Structure 1
Amino acid sequence: MFFKHFAASLAVTAGIGLASTSAYAAYPSQPVNVIVPQSPGGTNDIVARLISDKLAQKLGQPFVVQNKPGAGGNIGTAQAAREAADGYTVLFTISSAQAINPAIYKNPGFDPVKDFAPVAAVGSVPNVLCVHPSFPAKTLSEFITEVKAHPGKYQYASAGNGTLNHLLGAMLDEKGGLKLEHIPYRGVAPGMTDVLGGQVPIIFASLPSSIATIKAGKLRALGVSTKERNPALPDVPAIGEQIPGYNGELWIAMYVPKNTPKDIIDTLYKATESVLADPDVKKKYADLGVEPLNDNPEQLAKRLDDDLKLWGAIVKSTGAQVN
């Protein structure tokens, strides 16, 4: 009798153990929190919600987007770094926060390499060199000629010191031999308002946020910041076509806290790869002017390393820093 009860207890215990192991292996078994360290309505937020909705359909659990803006993305990123490495927190971020902030902030609150494991890069977004319609240049070559002929005469607006649209202008000066005056604003919206009003003639604006204004004729697009032209603006050249070495894309990527198990990262990457092949996602990307990327974890790690070096050098040359 004793042995019968003992054997039964072993069977029950083994069953519980197998069930626990099975439940752990069946990732995800509960909702996944997606931290977006920027405000609602921006490019990263739009893409994060699109991909998160599709991941929920693929993996059978909600992917719940939480916007945690502040300090150029540092607040939400630092919070994500402190979360448990169990796959139930995903950071959906952009290159300006992950690759530029560590150079411009003395203490951003996180280390982009030591605190995170890369999952996938999902898209890239060009910034567009835009001018007010009254600007004398109608093409990129005319713009370069005009600005070189009048060093220091023209200003460009940015969302603030050390932001991507500031550093894209600084790179234009450095690689193109230009001399533009930088006018920092407290966010992209007031800067764009002054450019549309003609108070400042030049701005770098992300394609998704500016394409409607460009097509309405309220801004003139002269060049895109990526290596190649964007299909949404096929007649607008890449700046690098006329200024060798110029390339500054905004990429969007998924990370998880460091030490998240590899099988969870693999599950997230494979699901994301499938989502990016979805015709609905492809169409929405095209409408937004987002170029699809499909970096695996190793490729994303290389992309981040390259950009940390690129933007670190630009920040050093401009002296841009935020306390």
Structure 2
Amino acid sequence: MTLIPRRAALGLPFLALAAPALAQTAAWPSRPVRLVVPYAPGGTTDVMARLVAERLGPKLGQPMVVENRPGAGATIGAAMVAQSEPDGLTLLMSNSGSHGVSPSLYPNLSYDPMRDFTHVALVVASPSVLVVTKNHPAQNLEQFIAHVRRAGEIDFAVSGIGSSSHLTGVRLGMALGIRVTAVPYRGAGPAMTDTIAGVVPAMMDSLPSAAQHIVNGSVRAIAVSSATRSGRFPDLPTLKESGVDVVNSAWFGISGPAGLPAPIVARLATAIREVLTDPSILTRFEDLTGAPPPESTPESYTAFVRSEIAGFAPIVRAAGIEAR
């Protein structure tokens, strides 16, 4: 009879329990991976997710299927992923709404954006753009500032309460010392429709969402909220360079539930990095956002999300908004 050393014997139950998990990790993904988008189809988050999923699937050896789970400021889809098994088969297109704004906006949020997730990579950051109706008296940012300061207030359309575009508008009002009234819509599409029709005089929208309307002249672009000018619209000034201290971008990344195994995180992060350095998607992202995708690691994305939560909190308080 072969005697097993006591120390080794004590380890056998652990190894027996760990073996299936290790084998599952090694075989990942064994079936299609679901990428949850916590917004309706057609918006910026959805567009970015589908661009990434289309190219990421072949690198993982399984299709990546986009599933839209909209509602409650992106928190419904996020909560679903937080509650899923950490097997790498359900991921989230995390974003500034679900993970930056939500902790301050929802007092009874069902998930913790840090504790309940494994953050893998930041995929893209997209600035907001201030647009006005084509018949608006302001032709540029300087004229717009003078116009709203004379009035002391402005109404602007937003894709939803607590959205990145909403909070950018709040910051703009704070910087200019005027009262801003956000007119919320169920998505950027309806908001843009009413802006084009002149129902509201101005809108804060993500640049990818508004780009075609700017190009075809349906609305007039005034300024972008990024730190530098857009490569697609190089003549469009930033708010910052015009003396308005507002820099803000909506951002989108890939996250999984807490406890995602380290080998899966590493493989997924590597595949995302390969996708984001592919010339074809670089061109597409720059065309949509005016900027290349950021370099990101699980560590840097985790730190980034934490900093965004802290940064959005005072803006939400200043806006006096709370969702229930």
Same fold (TM over 0.5): yes
Deviation at 1:132, TM superposition (A): 0.8
CA distance in 1, matches of 2:90, 2:19: 25
- 1:295-314 paired onto structure 2 within 5 Å: 295-314=296-315
Q: Are residue 103 (structure 1) and residue 104 (structure 2) matched?
A: yes
Match of 2:171 in 1: 171
Within 1, Cα distance between the matches of 2:80 and 2:21? 29
Quick check: 1:33–1:66 contact (8 Å CA) kept in 2?
A: yes
Instruction: Provide closer, same or farther for how the CA distance between residues 194 and 99 of structure 1 changes in structure 2, counting only shifts above 3 A.
Output: same
| Structure-to-structure mapping, 1:80-91, within 5 angstroms | 80-91=81-92
Alpha-carbon distance in 1 for matches of 2:228, 2:307? 18
Alignment partner, residue 199 of structure 1 = 199
Aligned to 2:10: none
Q: Distance in 2 between matches of 1:48 and 1:65?
A: 7
Q: Which residue of 2 aligns with 1:278?
A: 278
Secondary structure at 2:149's aligned position in 1? Answer: helix
- Name the CA shift for 1:18/1:209 in 2 (closer, same or farther; >3 Å): closer
Distance change >3 Å, CA 256–CA 238, structure 1 → 2: same
Change (3 A) 1:173 1:253: same
Per the alignment, residue 64 of structure 1 pairs with 65
| Bigger Cα displacement from structure 2, 143-152 vs 24-33 | 24-33
Q: 1:83 to 1:22 in 2, by over 3 A?
A: closer
Offset of 1:271 from its aligned partner? 0.6
- TM-score computed with the length of structure 2 as normaliser: 0.89
SS at 1:232's partner residue? coil
Structure 1 residues 186 and 30, CA gap change in structure 2 (3 angstroms): closer
* Matched residue, 2:32: 31
SS in 2 for 1:180: strand
Deviation at 1:19, TM superposition (A): 9.8
Aligned equivalents of 2:21 and 2:97: distance in 1?
A: 41
Q: What SS does the aligned partner of 1:221 have? A: strand
Q: How many residues in Structure 1 have an aligned counterpart in Structure 2?
A: 309
* Alignment map for 1:101-140 (pairs within 5 Å): 101-140=102-141
Q: Note the alpha carbon deviations across 1:283-306, whole angstroms, 9 max, x for none.
A: 221232263122111211222122
- The 3 A distance-change label for structure 1 pair 20 and 69 is closer
Residue aligning to 2:319: 318
Letter in 2 for 1:284: R
For 2:233, the equivalent position in structure 1 comes to 233
In the aligned structure 2, how far is the partner of 1:121 from the partner of 1:271? Answer: 13
Q: Give unmatched runs, 5+ long, in structure 2.
A: 3-17
Q: CA deviation at 1:117?
A: 1.1
Give, in whole Å, the separation in 2 of the partners of 1:303 and 1:24.
27
Give the alignment's Cα RMSD to 1 decimal.
Answer: 2.2
Contact residue 148 and residue 179 of structure 1 kept, 8 A: no
Alignment partner, residue 256 of structure 1:
256
Q: Does structure 1 retain, via aligned residues, the 8 Å contact 2:239–2:245?
A: no
Q: What does the per-residue CA deviation read over 1:70-126, in whole Å, with 9 as the maximum and x for residues that have no partner?
A: 111111100000011121111112212211122111223211111001100011111
Partner SS state of residue 90, structure 1: strand
Note the alpha carbon deviations across 1:175-232, whole angstroms, 9 max, x for none: 2323333323343333222211112111011111111111111111111111111111
CA contact (8 A) 1:176 1:243 kept: no
Corresponding position: 1:189 with 2:179: no
Q: Secondary structure at the match of 1:306?
A: helix
Task: Letter of the 1:199 partner, please give it.
Answer: V
Task: Provide the TM-score with structure 1 as the length reference.
Answer: 0.89
Q: Percent identity?
A: 36
TM-superposed CA distance for 1:53, in Å, is: 1.8
Q: State the match for 1:11 in structure 2.
A: none
| Paired amino acid for 2:297 | N
2:48 maps to 1:47? yes
Query: Which residue is 1:6 aligned to?
Result: none
Shift of the alpha carbon at 1:248?
1.2
Question: Deviations along 1:161-180, whole A, 9 cap, x unmatched?
Answer: 32222211110011232333
Partners of 2:288 and 2:183 lie apart in 1 by 27
State the secondary structure of the residue aligned to 2:160.
Answer: coil
Q: CA deviation at 1:242?
A: 2.2
Query: Deviation string for 1:217-262 (max 9, x for gaps)?
Result: 1111111111111111111111111245411101110001111111
Inter-CA distance 137–112: structure 2 relative to 1 (3 Å threshold): same
CA contact (8 A) 1:49 1:65 kept: yes
